[in-house]
């Protein structure tokens, strides 16, 4: 098995009394898209900065692409920070090329790549525009492209979707998937669960400096009980008697007479269907609903998540 | 190291591309050009002739005033004539690189002889050297200017000495011209009446008639009776109280006349007084630091003594313009969070060094452009082989001065650059930076304040003490460079300066490392101190 691109072992970062990151350990396997989730102040940015060796952890160890310090392998890492800025007076091409050269790409090659990337992601006609003339969304795309122009093996994006309209969010997802297609590893932090749900294979969730989940999206979803929505005469009253069902309540999806049954952990919805069939209940609706990541997130981080979820 | 180069390169290119950089490059030669051309231009435009009215109630004092006006007028013409002669003999003087010692007495004798022989074709006039022609104007006694015949002959003689192809000399307009009181008024009117009448003229509300022309009245001068004997005062009315040449000159002449009268009354021969008064003790200056036999101090030495002031000023301006540049773009990178991306690619030390070197290159470019344009302008203005520019360049391009300038520029720049970069790293806006800058500005003003008095006592206690304070070492030592300060001091202060540059680098790298990632309020002093002690991160 290959060395995981990101491996954190018992990493802690303290500022005086305050523990910004408290004893976290996780790994991100090669070639995966990993979502890094957590409410504001959870310690995501601090963790990312430690992975990049911009900050040193107070204790614990970090291995990035097999190296103890990210700076040793900086040419193989791409990074987009949370707050995005550009050199206002530089052109989009020059800006992307500059960051690529800092990562060791020869100047001429960097310039060519910059032009190609801008072309590919719909900014071809803005190549020679100064960054100050770009819209916020365009500027952000330029920054993302600047962080990947040297074709890094590991890409770390801090809040890549924030501030983008839905169309550009789609483009950003495309960028991330493209990187993955080339066999690279991506870690990105976000507050928007739908993005994570759509493109991530794994998620790492942090809250208040601690790691509260690390696993695949399916594993995360399995943390919450599944639900079954039913409609039909006597369906709800019969099925809610079953051992598998925890509770029932009218469905909130707006449809008349639909009842939502929450299942016990590990319960098989097929048993409910079988039971209804045996009891000869005329089912009009029988839907198995998997919990979404948002619900898992809210469940895991509780009240802390409120602020984050509505961002 | 390649990263440092890349950052420096970008820093350089970005600064060089700004309008401010080019404005800075262009504005300097324009200013120099204006400094050279403007006085000349104003002179050529000339202050128009100023008109005045003299109300003379005394017995002859008005004529003394008029004589003074004639003198002022002829001095102006003489100045024009001198310039004319200087222009006409320019190429001749350039050929002669040696400085000629001009003996004033001998020159005047030659002039008087020339004046006597003028108009007599049998007697040959001993020709004047071009250098003598340029300088003779400064030596002429007032008496010679005031005597109409001598004055006429003098002009003729001097102009006859110029090369044949010299264009004709055009006399500049008179400086002062007396006009008469308006019709209907005369000395029979009282001072008050005349003053009331002239007020609107003095305020430029009305114009006077002078021949066919309408002219503005510049001044009204009322000379009271017995002005030379009693304590009565001359009344001088003028809307322009800044131009005192007229009234000062007239008062000088009147005072002189009053003194003459008094000498006579006391039975002292005024000729004796004049002779005694013309006695003057002169000096010849020597510099012990020069080679034996070559100790006499010439113009070159004078330029050399004052050249360091120019260097200090240039050093100061250069260091602070570019250190300020560094401060600004550190804050820019910090406030738009680019610094984080940079730091994922380079170490803080690489970033700091790259920025400092890049901006240094900008400064050096600017300096070279300035010095280059300065030399170009001087050469253009003075012709390809002008002696004085040779003097200037020879005076300035000595190993001590030039070497000193280069060393102190580099060391001083790095000292302040690291300091400014450190400050930039803890501030999010220029406004925040200003809080830190104001005490620093005060610190920086000191060498400017001492700049002019250090050459008076370059190796004195104050200069020596200031030399040992690292922030001031570059400026103060540069200032003293021409005076050959003790070698031990040169190397001692240089060593101390270099050590402080390293200390400032180390401190600011430490602050930079923490500061650049920090958002929000700039840190308090105590907090900075903790950073330096390393109890943070």
CB contact under 8 A, B345 and A99: yes
> Of A81, A83, A98, which has the smallest distance from its Cβ to B10's Cβ?
A98
The nearest alpha carbon in chain B to A52 belongs to B344
CB contact under 8 A, B6 and A79: no
Model confidence band, residue A249 (pLDDT cutoffs 50, 70, 90): confident
ipTM: 0.74
Decide if A128 is inside a domain.
Answer: yes
CA torsion through residues B315, B321, B324, B329, sign: negative
> Of A15, A77, A98, which has the smallest distance from its Cβ to B344's Cβ?
A77
Whether residue A59 is found in the same domain as residue A146: yes
Mutate to test the interface with B, among A17, A47, A54 (most CBs of B within 10 A): A54
The nearest alpha carbon in chain A to B336 belongs to A85
Decide if A190 is inside a domain.
Answer: yes
CB contact under 8 A, B10 and A79: no
Whether residue A34 is found in the same domain as residue A98: yes
- At A235, list the tokens: 């369906």
Q: pLDDT higher for B113 or A145? A: A145
Strand partners, B339: none
Taking the C-alpha atoms of residue A42 and residue A295, their distance in angstroms, rounded to an integer, is 18
According to the model, what pLDDT value does residue B391 have? 62
**Exposure on the CB side of residue B151, measured as CA atoms within 13 A:** 14
Distances (CA, A) of B464 to B415, B429, B473: 20, 39, 10
CB contact under 8 A, B336 and A102: no
Whether residue A188 is found in the same domain as residue A148: yes
CB contact under 8 A, A99 and B517: no
Strand partners, A14: A19
Decide if A14 is inside a domain.
Answer: yes
Min CA distance, B322 vs chain A (Å)? 19
Check if B16 contacts A (Cβ < 8 Å): no
Q: Where residue A264 sits, what CATH number does that domain have?
A: 3.30.70.100
The mean predicted confidence, pLDDT, of chain A is 85
The A residues from 42 to 81 touching B (CB cutoff 8 Å) are 49, 52-56, 70-71, 74, 77, 79-81
Judge contact between B239 and B201, C-beta under 8 A. Answer: no
Min CA distance, B342 vs chain A (Å)? 8
CB pairs under 8 A between A and B: 64
Q: In whole angstroms, what separates CA B230 from the centre of its chain?
A: 43
Q: Which of B151, B75, B136, B125 is closest to B103 using CA atoms?
A: B136
Decide if A300 is inside a domain.
Answer: no
Decide if A305 is inside a domain.
Answer: no
Decide if A68 is inside a domain.
Answer: yes
CB contact under 8 A, A146 and B341: yes
Once rounded to an integer, what is the mean pLDDT over residues A81-95? Answer: 84
CB contact under 8 A, B537 and A52: no
Judge contact between B82 and B137, C-beta under 8 A. Answer: yes
Once rounded to an integer, what is the mean pLDDT over residues A123-150? Answer: 86
Min CA distance, A195 vs chain B (Å)? 24
Min CA distance, A288 vs chain B (Å)? 45
Whether residue A209 is found in the same domain as residue A232: no
Check if B428 contacts A (Cβ < 8 Å): no
Q: Which residue has the tokens 């970005």?
A: B14
The nearest alpha carbon in chain A to B16 belongs to A89
> Of B17, B340, B342, which has the smallest distance from its Cβ to A89's Cβ?
B17
Check if B7 contacts A (Cβ < 8 Å): yes
Check if B10 contacts A (Cβ < 8 Å): yes
- At A97, list the tokens: 């090329």
Model confidence band, residue A112 (pLDDT cutoffs 50, 70, 90): very high
Whether residue A150 is found in the same domain as residue A245: no
The nearest alpha carbon in chain B to A80 belongs to B341
Note down the domain range covering A236: 227-290
Decide if A171 is inside a domain.
Answer: yes
Q: pLDDT tens digits, chain B, 537 residues: what are they? A: 788 888 898 888 888 888 888 888 888 888 878 877 777 677 666 678 889 999 998 888 889 999 999 999 998 888 888 888 888 887 777 665 555 556 777 888 888 888 877 777 777 777 777 777 777 877 888 888 888 888 888 888 888 888 888 888 888 888 899 998 888 788 888 888 888 888 988 888 888 888 888 888 889 999 998 888 877 888 999 888 777 888 899 998 998 888 888 888 888 887 788 788 888 887 777 766 666 666 666 666 666 667 777 778 888 888 888 788 888 888 888 877 788 888 888 888 888 899 889 988 888 888 888 878 877 777 676 544 455 556 666 666 677 777 888 888 888 889 988 888 888 888 878 888 888 888 888 888 888 888 877 877 888 888 888 899 998 998 888 888 877 788 898 899 999 999 999 999 988 888 887 777 766 666 777 777 777 776 554
CA trace torsion B57, B59, B64, B70 (10° rounding): 70
Whether residue A135 is found in the same domain as residue A267: no
Whether residue A233 is found in the same domain as residue A200: no
Q: Where residue A54 sits, what CATH number does that domain have?
A: 3.40.50.300
> Of A70, A81, A98, which has the smallest distance from its Cβ to B340's Cβ?
A81
> Of A54, A56, A101, which has the smallest distance from its Cβ to B340's Cβ?
A54
Whether residue A241 is found in the same domain as residue A187: no
- At B522, list the tokens: 């700039």
CB contact under 8 A, B344 and A101: no
> Of B3, B14, B344, which has the smallest distance from its Cβ to A87's Cβ?
B14
Min CA distance, A165 vs chain B (Å)? 21
* Sequence-distant (≥ 6) Cβ neighbours of residue B299 within 8 angstroms: B99, B391
Whether residue A49 is found in the same domain as residue A93: yes
Check if A87 contacts B (Cβ < 8 Å): yes
Min CA distance, A59 vs chain B (Å)? 11
CB contact under 8 A, A80 and B341: yes
Check if A98 contacts B (Cβ < 8 Å): yes
> Of B14, B340, B342, which has the smallest distance from its Cβ to A90's Cβ?
B14
According to the model, what pLDDT value does residue A36 have? 92
Strand partners, A189: A36, A158
> Of A54, A85, A104, which has the smallest distance from its Cβ to B344's Cβ?
A54
Kindly tell me if the per-residue pLDDT of A264 is higher than 90.
Answer: no
CB contact under 8 A, A55 and B7: no
Count of structural domains, chain A: 2
Check if B343 contacts A (Cβ < 8 Å): yes
According to the model, what pLDDT value does residue A185 have? 92
According to the model, what pLDDT value does residue A305 have? 47
Whether residue A44 is found in the same domain as residue A189: yes
Contacts within 8 Å (CB) and 24+ apart, A195-200:
A195/A35, A195/A161, A195/A169, A196/A35, A196/A37, A196/A293, A197/A292, A197/A293, A197/A294, A198/A173, A199/A33, A199/A35, A199/A173, A200/A33, A200/A34, A200/A35
Judge contact between B320 and B416, C-beta under 8 A. Answer: yes
Decide if A73 is inside a domain.
Answer: yes
Whether residue A216 is found in the same domain as residue A236: no
Whether residue A277 is found in the same domain as residue A204: no
> Of B335, B338, B340, which has the smallest distance from its Cβ to A87's Cβ?
B338
According to the model, what pLDDT value does residue B272 have? 82
């Amino acid at each position: 098995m290959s060395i995981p691109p990101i491996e954190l072992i018992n990493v802690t970062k303290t500022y005086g009394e305050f523990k910004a990151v408290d004893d976290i350990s996780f790994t991100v396997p090669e070639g995966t898209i990993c979502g890094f989730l957590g409410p504001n102040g959870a310690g995501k940015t601090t963790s990312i900065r430690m992975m990049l060796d911009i900050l040193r952890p107070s204790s614990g160890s970090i291995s990035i692409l097999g190296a103890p310090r990210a700076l040793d392998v900086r040419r193989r890492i791409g990074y987009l920070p949370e707050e995005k800025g550009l050199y206002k007076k530089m052109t989009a091409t020059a800006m992307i090329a500059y960051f690529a050269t800092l990562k060791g790409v020869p100047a001429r090659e960097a310039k060519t790549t910059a032009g190609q990337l801008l072309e590919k992601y719909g900014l071809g006609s803005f190549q020679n525009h100064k960054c100050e003339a770009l819209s916020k969304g365009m500027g952000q795309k330029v920054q993302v492209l600047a962080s990947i122009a040297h074709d890094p093996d590991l890409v770390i994006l801090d809040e890549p979707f924030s501030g983008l309209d839905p169309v550009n969010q789609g483009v950003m997802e495309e960028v991330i998937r493209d990187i993955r297609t080339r066999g690279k590893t991506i870690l990105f932090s976000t507050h928007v669960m739908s993005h994570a749900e759509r493109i991530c294979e794994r998620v790492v969730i942090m809250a208040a400096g601690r790691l509260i989940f690390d696993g695949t999206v399916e594993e995360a979803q399995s943390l919450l009980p599944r639900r079954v929505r039913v409609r039909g005469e006597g369906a709800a009253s019969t099925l809610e008697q079953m051992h598998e069902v925890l509770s029932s309540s009218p469905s909130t999806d707006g449809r008349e007479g639909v009842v939502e049954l929450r299942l016990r952990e590990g319960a098989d919805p097929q048993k409910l269907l079988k039971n209804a069939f045996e009891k000869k209940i005329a089912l009009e609706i029988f839907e198995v609903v998997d919990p979404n990541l948002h619900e898992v997130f809210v469940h895991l981080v509780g009240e802390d998540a409120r602020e984050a979820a509505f961002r | 190291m390649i990263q440092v180069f890349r950052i420096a390169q970008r820093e350089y290119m970005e600064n060089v591309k700004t309008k401010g950089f080019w404005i800075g490059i262009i504005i300097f030669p324009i200013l120099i050009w204006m400094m050279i051309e403007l006085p000349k231009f104003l002179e050529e435009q000339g202050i128009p002739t100023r008109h005045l009215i003299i109300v003379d109630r005394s017995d002859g004092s008005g004529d003394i005033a008029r004589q003074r006006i004639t003198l002022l007028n002829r001095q102006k013409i003489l100045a024009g004539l001198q310039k004319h002669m200087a222009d006409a003999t320019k190429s001749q003087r350039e050929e002669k690189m040696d400085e000629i010692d001009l003996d004033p007495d001998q020159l005047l004798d030659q002039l008087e002889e020339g004046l006597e022989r003028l108009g007599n074709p049998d007697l040959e006039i001993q020709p004047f050297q071009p250098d003598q022609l340029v300088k003779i104007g400064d030596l002429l006694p007032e008496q010679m200017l005031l005597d109409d015949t001598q004055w006429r002959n003098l002009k003729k003689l001097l102009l006859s000495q110029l090369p044949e192809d010299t264009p004709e000399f055009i006399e500049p307009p008179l400086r002062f011209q007396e006009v008469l009181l308006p019709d209907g008024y005369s000395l029979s009117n009282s001072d008050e009446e005349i003053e009331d009448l002239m007020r609107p003229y003095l305020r430029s509300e009305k114009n006077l008639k002078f021949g066919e022309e309408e002219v503005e009245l510049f001044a009204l001068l009322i000379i009271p009776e017995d002005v030379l004997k009693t304590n009565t005062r001359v009344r001088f009315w003028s809307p322009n109280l800044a131009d005192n040449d007229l009234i000062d000159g007239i008062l000088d002449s009147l005072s002189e006349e009053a003194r003459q009268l008094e000498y006579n009354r006391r039975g002292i021969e005024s000729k004796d007084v004049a002779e005694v008064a013309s006695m003057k003790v002169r000096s010849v200056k020597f510099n012990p630091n020069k080679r034996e036999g070559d100790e006499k101090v010439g113009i070159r030495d004078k330029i050399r003594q004052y050249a360091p002031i120019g260097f200090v000023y240039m050093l100061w301006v250069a260091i602070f313009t570019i250190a300020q540049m560094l401060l600004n773009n550190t804050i820019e990178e910090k406030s738009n969070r680019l610094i984080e991306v940079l730091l994922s690619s380079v170490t803080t030390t690489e970033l700091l060094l790259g920025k400092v070197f890049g901006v240094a290159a900008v400064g050096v470019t600017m300096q070279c452009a300035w010095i280059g344009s300065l030399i170009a302008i001087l050469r253009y203005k003075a012709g390809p082989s002008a002696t004085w520019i040779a003097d200037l360049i020879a005076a300035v391009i000595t190993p001590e001065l030039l070497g000193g300038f280069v060393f102190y520029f580099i060391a001083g720049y790095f000292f302040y650059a690291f300091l400014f970069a450190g400050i930039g790293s803890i501030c999010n806006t220029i406004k925040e930076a200003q809080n830190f800058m104001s005490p620093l500005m005060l610190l920086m003003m000191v060498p400017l304040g001492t700049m002019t008095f250090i050459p008076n006592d370059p190796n004195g206690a104050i200069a020596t003490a200031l030399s040992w304070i690292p922030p001031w070492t570059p400026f103060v030592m540069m200032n003293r460079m021409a005076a050959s300060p003790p070698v031990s001091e040169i190397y001692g202060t240089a060593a101390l300066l270099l050590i402080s540059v390293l200390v400032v680098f180390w401190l600011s790298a430490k602050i930079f490392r923490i500061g650049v990632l920090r958002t929000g309020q700039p840190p308090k002093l105590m907090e900075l101190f903790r950073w330096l002690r390393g109890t943070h991160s």
